[in-house]
């Protein structure tokens, strides 16, 4: 099944939009603001950045480390078209290590069309090609629900990759009833997003979501939910 997002699902900012109390918010006029991933804790559902971004708007996430949590420095950017979630998620991952190519350049490298980016293996190849490394591998999760071995491998991959400054890119399927915050509740969403941190104490993961559904750009998600979102697709780690 091809992965795609409807362009109408991208939240577009309105002039003079409300800044939510206690929640960092980006706007079209913000000049790549820097935000802390741990300022408000790491419980599942905690918003790091929430608001309505125009496609292409940027936010710098500051990496942090505590006894149980580790998040990475990344240059987040809202996807520029309704079908560039793959390029945008790949760009976020690359930004932890290099000055990343543009979304349009990555769309060309990935072979992304208006139908989206076909398979997570294309992301793996482009990540390695741009970094000049063989670090990333494609990990398939065909079982839905995933097996315990697949869940254990996913968590181990997250910790290993984040601790070595490599964000993960996940290809997800989010049906009604099992969706990250802000997703259209009456649609099954086929999508790519980036995992940029974890908290072992809360068993949560930090998501940089290029779709900005409902204005949710960067948020904490439970590991258990992430593990149910990836099947039957896969991830690059």
What is the domain partition of the chain in residue ranges? Answer: 7-236
How does residue 53 score in pLDDT terms, banded at 50, 70 and 90? Answer: low
Percent of the chain surpassing pLDDT 70:
85
| Residue indicated by tokens 């939009």 | 17
On the question of pLDDT at 141 being above 70, the answer is: yes
Distances, alpha carbon 146 to alpha carbons 96, 136, 189, 207, in Å: 29, 21, 19, 20
- Reply yes or no on domain 7-236 having CATH 3.90.70.10: yes
Does the pLDDT of residue 97 top 80, yes or no?
yes
First to last CA, the chain: 21
Output the pLDDT for position 54. Answer: 74
DSSP 54-113: PTT-EEEEEPEE-SSEEE--EEEE--SSTT-HHHHHHHHHHHTTS-PPPHHHHHHHHT-B
Which of the pair, 56 or 136, is modelled with greater confidence?
Answer: 136
Q: Coil, strand or helix: which one is 200? A: coil
pLDDT for res 52: 59
What's the mean pLDDT when you consider all of the chain?
A: 87
CA dihedral 124, 232, 151, 192 (to 10 degrees): 50
Helix (H) or strand (E) holding 1, with range, is none
Query: Per mean pLDDT, which range of 44-53, 104-113, 162-171, 194-203 is the poorest?
Result: 44-53
User: Which tops the pLDDT comparison, 164 or 28?
Assistant: 164
Find the mean pLDDT for residues 117-143.
97
- In the structure, what pLDDT confidence band is assigned to residue 16 with cuts at 50, 70 and 90? very low
Decide: pTM greater than 0.85. Answer: yes
Q: How far is CA 161 from CA 72, 164, 166, 174, 223, in A?
A: 10, 5, 5, 24, 15
The Cα 46–Cα 117 span in angstroms is 29
The answer to whether residue 8 scores a pLDDT higher than 60 is: no
What integer pLDDT is reported at residue 21 of this predicted model?
24
Query: If DSSP codes are grouped into helix, strand and coil, which group holds residue 4?
Result: coil
Which is more confidently placed, 30 or 10? 30
Instruction: List, in sequence order, every beta strand (DSSP E) within the chain.
Output: 34-36, 47-50, 58-62, 64-65, 69-71, 74-77, 138-140, 168-174, 189-199, 204-208, 216-222, 234-236
Rounded to an integer, what distance in angstroms lies between the CA atom of residue 206 and that of residue 170? Answer: 12
The answer on pLDDT for 59 being more than 80 is yes
Average pLDDT over residues 74-95: 97
Q: What would the two tokens of residue 57 be?
A: 């708007």
Burial of 25 (0-12, 13-18, 19+ CB in 10 A): buried
Task: For Cα atoms 173, 194, 157, give the angle at the middle one, nearest 5 degrees.
Answer: 90
Of the listed ranges 54-63, 89-98, 115-124, the least confidently predicted one is 54-63
Of the two residues 50 and 16, the one the predictor is more confident about is 50
Predicted confidence at residue 11, as pLDDT, reads: 29
Which residues, other chains included, contact 95 with Cβ-Cβ below 8 Å and sequence gap of 6+?
Answer: 74, 75, 76
């Amino acid at each position: 099944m091809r992965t795609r997002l409807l362009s109408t699902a991208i939240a577009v900012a309105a002039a003079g939009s409300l800044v939510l109390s206690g929640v960092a918010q980006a706007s079209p006029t913000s000049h790549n603001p820097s935000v802390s991933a741990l300022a408000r804790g790491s419980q599942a559902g905690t918003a790091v950045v929430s608001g309505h971004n125009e496609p292409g708007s940027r936010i710098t996430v500051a990496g942090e480390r505590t006894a149980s949590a580790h998040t990475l420095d990344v240059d987040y950017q809202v996807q520029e078209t309704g079908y560039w979630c793959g390029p945008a998620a790949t760009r976020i991952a690359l930004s932890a290590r290099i000055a990343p190519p543009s979304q349009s350049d990555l769309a060309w490298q990935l072979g992304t069309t208006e139908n989206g980016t076909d398979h997570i293996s294309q992301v793996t190849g482009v990540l390695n090609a741009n970094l000049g490394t063989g670090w990333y591998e494609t990990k398939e999760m065909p079982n839905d629900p995933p097996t315990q071995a697949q869940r254990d491998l996913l968590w181990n991959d997250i910790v290993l990759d984040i601790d070595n400054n490599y964000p993960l890119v996940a290809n997800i399927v989010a049906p009604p009833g099992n969706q990250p915050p802000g997703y259209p509740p009456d649609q099954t969403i086929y999508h790519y997003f980036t995992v940029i941190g974890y908290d072992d104490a809360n068993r949560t993961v930090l998501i940089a979501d290029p779709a900005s559904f409902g204005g949710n750009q960067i948020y904490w998600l439970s590991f258990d939910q992430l593990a149910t979102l990836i099947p039957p697709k896969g991830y690059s780690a």
